[in-house]
Amino acid sequence: MTAILETRQLNKRFGGLSAVADVSIAVATGEIHCLIGPNGAGKSTLFKLIAGTYAPSQGEVLFRGENVTHRKPYERVGRGMSIKLQVPSVFRDLPVAQNLEISLQRTLSGPAMETEKGRLLEFLQLKDDADRPAGVLAHGQQQWLEIGMALALKPALLLLDEPTAGMSPQETERTGDMIKSLNAQGMTVLVVEHDMTFVRQIAQQVTVLHLGRVFAQGNIDAVIADPRVEEIYLGKGHGH
Ligand code: ADP
Ligand code: MG
């Protein structure tokens, strides 16, 4: 297996709290990998360590074979990592199309950018909303727009933190289809998620975090069949 992303013994402490403890994971090139676990397990913290938002207390992050532990977020983006955080952060006052342009302009201009913008609007099913301010879109559509802004950077690795938060079951399923379609085109995707229906729909490999540590790891069928995993979900609930 060629890993596009690896963490080695990653740790993040907030004062006395170990939010992430000795986490080693490997995401293989071409897979859809889901990071799951109950509320407070450390998922978003691990995500931010991978993206470079946080510096680890200890441990390493390797991306495409390079040690990026001390690289800034934008430097990781420049190496092919693209990120959608848990809370959508679209430019609410700007039209949908212009939100996409802001991302596309990093790499494209002129007709090439127009073509790519059209393709993205189509893919996101936001063609009819292209000229509306992003802030008036339904919550699910805003999530898609932000996924689109991440996609505009043509990442090798797409990182999504709870992309379906606040979505209806139909929107959630549509998001799953989008992710699978991107993956079929060669994109590696790492998704933080607690909605197990969604995880079942998309995941190939799964890492379960619990109390900051890796609790279980493996392919989706093995992880779902593990009674210990069910226990931590049922025992603790799984809200936000
Ligand atoms: P998850 O995303 O799995 O719900 P988080 O990574 O958000 O979990 O949080 C893991 C633990 O770290 C929680 O106990 C949370 O309260 C704590 N935590 C997260 N971010 C911070 C922070 N910036 N400062 C202090 N504690 C934090
Ligand atoms: Mg979280």
Query: Could you read off the pLDDT of 38-57 as tens digits, one per residue?
Result: 989 999 999 999 999 999 99
- Closest-CA residue, ligand 1 atom 16, reads 40
Q: Which atom of ligand 1 is nearest to the CA of 48?
A: 6
pTM above 0.95, yes or no: no
d(CA 62, CA 102): 28
The yes-or-no verdict on residue 124 having pLDDT over 90 is yes
Superfamily of the domain at 3-92+160-235: P-loop containing nucleotide triphosphate hydrolases (3.40.50.300)
- Average pLDDT of 15-34? 97
Q: Which atom of ligand 1 is nearest to the CA of 192?
A: 2
Instruction: Kindly give the interhelix angle for 139-151 and 96-104, rounded to the nearest 10 degrees.
Output: 20
Q: Which atom of ligand 1 is nearest to the CA of 86?
A: 2
Least distant ligand from the CA of 39: 1
Cβ neighbour number for residue 119 with a 10 Å cutoff: 11
239 vs 91, more confident: 91
Cβ neighbour number for residue 194 with a 10 Å cutoff: 22
pLDDT of residue 234: 65
Q: Which one, of 138, 104, 139, lies nearest residue 121 by Cα? A: 104
- Closest-CA residue, ligand 1 atom 22, reads 14
d(CA 156, CA 139): 26
Q: Which of 11, 18, 44, 45 to mutate to test the pocket of ligand 1 (most atoms within 8 A of CB)?
A: 45
The yes-or-no verdict on residue 29 having pLDDT over 50 is yes
pLDDT of residue 238: 44
- Average pLDDT of 146-153? 91
pLDDT of residue 183: 97
The yes-or-no verdict on residue 87 having pLDDT over 90 is no
**pLDDT tens digits, residue range 164-204?**
988 999 999 999 999 999 999 999 999 999 888 999 999 99
Q: What percent of the chain has pLDDT over 90?
A: 85
Q: Which atom of ligand 1 is nearest to the CA of 47?
A: 6
Residue where the block lists tokens 């990093």: 106
Who lines ligand 1 at CB under 6 A?
14, 17, 19, 37, 39-45
- Closest-CA residue, ligand 1 atom 7, reads 44
pLDDT confidence band for 148 (50 / 70 / 90) = very high
